[in-house]
């Protein structure tokens, strides 16, 4: 995707072919900053403190983190330490474990002097594979948007086009490129289908308002930021044609874990008969989990993400402000689980399936 007309991925190998460069998403939308990762410690910090975020990008960053570790210490102890330290950074996104398991399986049988080159090569492959997966999700999802447009009588942009509601950020900033939930929107827009996106602000970190709105604007896709609680109202009044969200971990049964508040949007969509889709890259499927509500660990993050907000002042400075009384307590649950019965379909890189074990197994028999 492009930033001010220049194509970027969210993570890439630096010019020295040793360090890794990322877009520091904490600075968006007010500043576009590229950060350099040189060590395992820095890769862990980038994931834990959300310089990067989104399940697919976390996985890619973890893979590059393993490569950075092998650059400095390719021993068995170095490999074990790198795996453990990266694994501890974020508990919910299953791509983290998937990427680390993949890298460890590749590197363990190799001699120490072979691990550095192999790690960098595989990390690059994981990044490239993510781009292809997300592009394919976009193609399959585009057909769903086109069908909704045809059903409405092919209205032009002046007549509203197709109105899509999304939650959090599941665009290219959450992946290596293209995105999951937003990939179908980009593909539809590029194909000339008039789309308009309702962007949930997505408290507490405002990843919709700060990230989704920013990247949609960079691509020229019409969008409107709304407060999180406005979605149900819009659905009641016929102003949403379909919902598309992302996922950080999906149970084998079809239950989906995504940014906190996704469950409430699914309930509103179900009540109003609005299709509710999930952009689902297969590495986010946890085939070991059947009951998502019971078995997916929900990350609880620092309360300051709820009590403090960052924004740009009238004079252009970016600052943090406290929005609750001194001494107020806050809980910060990062994710919730949407049961499969409220999901219309899962948009994967191999097609659209029902939110069920049978549906996912039919598309990924080698995993099931």
Question: How far is residue 95's CA from residue 84's CA, in Å, rounded to a whole number?
Answer: 15
* Token representation of residue 255: 């239950």
Q: What is the pTM of this model?
A: 0.95
Residue 94 has pLDDT above 80, yes or no: yes
Residue of 272, 233, 278, 282 whose CA lies nearest to 258? 278
What are 33-46's pLDDT values in tens digits? 999 999 999 999 99
Strand partners, 125: none
Sheet holding 351-353, edge to edge: 223-226, 195-200, 162-166, 242-245, 276-279, 345-348, 351-353
Residue 58 has pLDDT above 90, yes or no: yes
Could you give the C-alpha distances from 286 to 95, 116, 249, 257, in angstroms and in order? 9, 29, 7, 11
What are 108-155's pLDDT values in tens digits? 999 999 999 999 999 999 999 999 999 999 999 999 999 999 999 999
What are 176-232's pLDDT values in tens digits? 999 999 999 999 999 999 999 999 999 999 999 999 999 999 999 999 999 999 999
CA angle 15, 17, 19 (to 5 degrees): 85
Which whole number is the average pLDDT over 321-350?
97
pLDDT on residue 93: 74
Question: Coil, strand or helix: which one is 166?
Answer: strand
Catalytic residues: 248
* Predicted confidence band of residue 367 (pLDDT cuts 50, 70, 90): confident
Which whole number is the average pLDDT over 151-175?
95
pLDDT on residue 91: 79
Q: What is the mean pLDDT of the chain?
A: 96
Strand partners, 2: 7
């Amino acid at each position: 995707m492009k930033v001010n007309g220049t194509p970027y991925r969210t993570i890439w190998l630096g010019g020295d072919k040793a360090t890794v460069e990322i877009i520091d998403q904490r600075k968006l939308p007010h500043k576009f900053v590229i950060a350099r990762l040189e060590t395992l410690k820095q890769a862990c910090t980038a994931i834990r403190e959300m310089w990067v975020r989104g399940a697919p990008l976390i996985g890619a960053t973890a893979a590059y983190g393993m490569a950075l570790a092998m650059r400095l210490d390719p021993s068995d102890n170095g490999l074990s330490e790198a795996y453990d330290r990266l694994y501890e950074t974020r508990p919910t996104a299953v791509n983290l474990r998937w990427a680390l398991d993949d890298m460890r399986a590749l590197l363990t049988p190799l001699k120490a002097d072979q691990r550095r080159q192999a790690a960098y090569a595989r990390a690059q492959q994981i990044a490239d594979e993510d781009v292809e997966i997300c592009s394919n999700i976009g193609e399959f999802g585009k057909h769903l948007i086109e069908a909704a447009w045809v059903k409405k009588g092919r209205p032009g942009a002046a007549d509203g086009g197709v109105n899509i509601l999304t939650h959090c950020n599941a665009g290219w900033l959450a992946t290596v490129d293209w995105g999951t939930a937003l990939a179908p929107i980009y593909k539809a827009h590029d194909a000339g289908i008039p789309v308009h996106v309702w962007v949930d602000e997505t408290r507490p970190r405002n990843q919709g308002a700060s990230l989704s709105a920013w990247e949609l604007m960079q691509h020229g896709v019409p969008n409107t930021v709304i407060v999180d609680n406005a979605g149900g109202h819009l659905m009641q009044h016929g102003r949403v044609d379909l919902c598309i969200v992302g996922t950080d971990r999906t149970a084998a049964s079809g239950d989906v874990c995504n940014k906190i508040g996704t469950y409430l949007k699914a309930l509103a969509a179900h009540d109003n008969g609005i299709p509710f889709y999930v952009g689902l890259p297969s590495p986010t499927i946890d085939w070991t989990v059947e009951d998502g509500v019971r078995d997916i660990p929900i990350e609880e993050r620092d309360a300051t993400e709820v009590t403090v907000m960052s924004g740009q002042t009238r004079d252009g400075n970016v600052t943090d402000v406290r929005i609750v009384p001194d001494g107020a307590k806050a809980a910060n649950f990062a994710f919730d689980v949407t049961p499969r019965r409220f999901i219309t379909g899962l948009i994967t890189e191999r097609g659209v399936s029902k939110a069920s074990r049978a549906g996912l197994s039919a598309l990924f028999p080698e995993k099931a």
